[in-house]
Amino acid sequence: MLTQIFNYPSIKDFLVDFLISILAFLISLTFHEYAHAAVANALGDPTAKNLGRMTLDPVKHIDPIGMISLIIFGWGWARPVLIDSRMLKNPRRDDLLIAAAGPFTNLVLSFIFYVADMLLVYKAGLTDPTLQAVLISISATNMGQAIFNILPIFPLDGYHVFTSIFPKLSFKISPFMLRYGTYVLMALSFSGALDYVIMPVSGFFYDLFSKFVMLFL
């Protein structure tokens, strides 16, 4: 984000956008990691809970390097939630559920804050630009996190979902993904190629959100 500072008309505009973005990221990652920990605990694995990760305290989920990367480049990550598959009754099914819990929670949050923004505008008549910016940013950040994390690339949640659904195929791609997955993600992110995935999928979901909300307005 700091790399974008000269794109703003003033330092004040940059700081407002910067703080809103940090808030949106912290909400997104906190609920995402909490969902992983809570579902794992519900399925019999208390590892994350015992490590203090089943909490909505964002400090427990922050990865220092990931946070620094976010501040400088606008691309960051949280501390991964540790899972002990030996504690799960059905490791293949449960790993899928645990992995999907994070992106699903982000999608739900995106919907909630989208609805909140729509209600404030259409029902309450509020047009405070800062409040709207906060709600839109939180919704958009959660939407982006949901779509990004469900990509079938290691170490994202989508990789675990994919390998749980297609265990035989995973044996063929796992050696490559485990070795190069992170580099693939970095290349896709910094090249802007991810926008060609995230933007149209986001548009699809926001269109659904809008149609649903308008049924009640």
Q: What is the set of active-site residues? A: 33
Which ranges of 56-125 would DSSP assign to H, the alpha helix?
A: 64-73, 91-122
Burial of residue 182 (CB within 10 Å: 0-12, 13-18, 19+) is: middle
Tokens coding 25: 């990221």
Burial of residue 30 (CB within 10 Å: 0-12, 13-18, 19+) is: buried
Distance between CA 84 and CA 55 in Å, rounded?
18
Angle, CA 45 vertex, CA 80 and CA 77 arms, to 5° = 10
Tokens coding 118: 């729509």
Unique residue bearing structure tokens 């960051």: 76
Unique residue bearing structure tokens 């749980």: 164
Bridge partner list, 52: none
Largest CA distance in the chain: 56
Tokens coding 110: 């995106």
Bridge partner list, 78: 62
DSSP state letters, 91-104: HHHHHHHHHHHHHH
